[in-house]
Structure 1
Amino acid sequence: MEPQLSHRVADSVATVVIDHPTKRNAMTAAMWRALPPLLDALAADPDVRALVLTGAGGTFCAGADISTLRGSPETAQALAVQAEEALAAFPKPTLAAIRGHCVGGGAQLAAACDLRFAEQGTLFGVTPAKLGIVYPASATRRLVALAGPATAKYLLFSGELIGTERALRTGLIDGVLPEGELDKRVAEFARILVSRSQLTQAAAKEFADGRTDRDAHWADRARGNTDTAEGVTAFLERRRPRFTWSVSTSG
């Protein structure tokens, strides 16, 4: 089977799967190119309220397919950055479900997600120093924001791998699950995400990511929106709210 990004949508959750098992799900140039338009389509789908990114089989993503770096490493890196930025800009909650290896470009994609859950025993690494590559500025800053400058420098300077214990301690990941329980926990948490107000999530995502140019936009959306009225009414009536505001249709 050709390396590909497959996806499915079920119960308001889009699941994107990195599928290149012969090379531990390494990303080819074609896969990097395919991710932004796929994300655009899923962002525009009102049936999608959250996105899960994972890898096929027993690993998440071992990075970029090194064979793609022989011709033009600059072009390959530019494609990776475009994919990373498209994932970071996805307007709905994103969750990386990680097992096996999450290395190089895989760590770049995982860091671009809003949240990361990993299976016990997963290994993380950022390995450009092994290849003499300057890691992208955007990816470096995102790594520092997640794990702090000390851990980011450790990973970038050495190219060494770290386990789930250190990754959790430093904030690189948000949860560690025993073997065999990752998919269950991700499904449970995704159900929580899709049950919440997308208005709250969309605004919080932009604020948390440091955008300062959208304060007025979200203040305007907050005035008189149906989600607030529904949330308050549902709380008083002791029932689950039925939120209807959608970033796909409302912006």
Structure 2
Amino acid sequence: MDAAQDAPQEAALRHNVADGVATVVIAHPAKRNAMTAAMWRALPEVLDGLAADPAVRVLVLTGVGPTFCAGADISSLTGDEDPQALAVAAEEALAAFPKPTLAAIRGFCVGGGSQLAAACDLRFAEEGASFGVTPAKLGIVYPASSTRRLAALVGPAVAKYLLFSAELIDAEHALRAGFLNELLPAGQLDERVADFARVLTSRSQLTQAAAKEFTNGRTDRDAYWAEQAAGSGDTAEGVAAFLQRRTPSFGWTTAPTAAPTTGRATGRPAG
């Protein structure tokens, strides 16, 4: 998962799946991984494919080289394209991904980059990273959904500080504000993310999927999740594994019933 490896110069989203972890890499090194219009359009489709892949249990989003994502590549837009609409569609697809998502951040995480990072469930960063939400520099009204997501993550006061000023904050400030879950010394980000992703792949997808819905504010599916838990066998397996001092083999897995961008998924025992 080393995103610092040499990469082709053309703008692209690259992805691979290994050991239950899907890694999506933002690759546009000529412009600090700024997202082109084509990349914004491609992200929901990439996520749909990965959500439907039963081998995927966790998704990691990162950038190639020393930068996560420096925003949107405005020069790539055509005259009739709405850059906000493209970014919001990609952001919402990422937020609705039915399995745990983790942003692995180094360098600049600015504008659209912060938008994507905020849409992930978790954010790990390397020392030296910088964060900013910059529409006030361009006279842009930040989307309502993105503003609410940012405020829910860092609180109204910090969200206003970022949005009003468009100033960048360093990684230590982002950690204190609650934007980051972990801050790693230089050179340790990839190893820590890989280790934590392995932890997530070993846990119950049933627990993770329900927790993701509940923490994201959905409150109308308590009965659904109780039914899933009763029929999954995951609880019995978890208790048995604990008593037998072995690694559990959980069987429940997500199975999208519609495009994952709707945020809806059903579950079933694997196999």
Could you tell which deviates more after superposition, 89-98 or 212-221?
A: 212-221
Which of 27, 43, 48 pairs up with 2:51?
43
- State the 1:212 CA deviation: 1.4
2:28 is aligned to 20
Mapped partners of 1:2, 1:180: distance in 2: 26
Letter in 2 for 1:17: V
Moved over 3 A (4+): none
2:6 is aligned to none
Which of 144, 147, 151 pairs up with 2:158?
151
1:64 is aligned to 72
TM-score by length of 2: 0.90
2:62 is aligned to 54
Q: Counterpart of 2:35 in 1: which secondary structure?
A: coil
- State the 1:217 CA deviation: 1.4
Mapped partners of 2:125, 2:132: distance in 1: 14
Mapped partners of 2:85, 2:231: distance in 1: 42
Mapped partners of 1:171, 1:138: distance in 2: 19
2:105 is aligned to 98
1:189 is aligned to 196
Give CA deviations for 1:97-151 in whole Å, capped at 9, x if unaligned: 0000000000000000000000001000000000111111111111101111111
Letter in 1 for 2:101: T
Give CA deviations for 1:61-88 in whole Å, capped at 9, x if unaligned: 0001122457356x11101000000000
Q: Counterpart of 2:169 in 1: which secondary structure?
A: coil
TM-score by length of 1: 0.97
2:114 is aligned to 107
- State the 1:207 CA deviation: 0.3
Distance change in 2, residues 1:129/1:68 (3 Å): farther
Q: How does 1:63-212 map to 2 (within 5 A)?
A: 63-68=71-76, 71-72=79-80, 75-212=82-219
Q: Counterpart of 1:224 in 2: which secondary structure?
A: helix
Richer in helix (by share): 1
Mapped partners of 2:213, 2:77: distance in 1: 33
Q: Counterpart of 1:223 in 2: which secondary structure?
A: helix
Which consecutive residues of structure 2, in runs of 5 or more, have no partner in the other structure?
1-8, 257-265
Letter in 1 for 2:118: A
**Equivalent residues, number:** 250
* Backbone CA RMSD of aligned residues: 1.2
Mapped partners of 1:72, 1:161: distance in 2: 30
Q: Counterpart of 1:109 in 2: which secondary structure?
A: helix
Mapped partners of 2:166, 2:231: distance in 1: 51
Contact 2:36 2:77 in 1 (8 A): no
2:238 is aligned to 231
Which consecutive residues of structure 1, in runs of 5 or more, have no partner in the other structure?
none
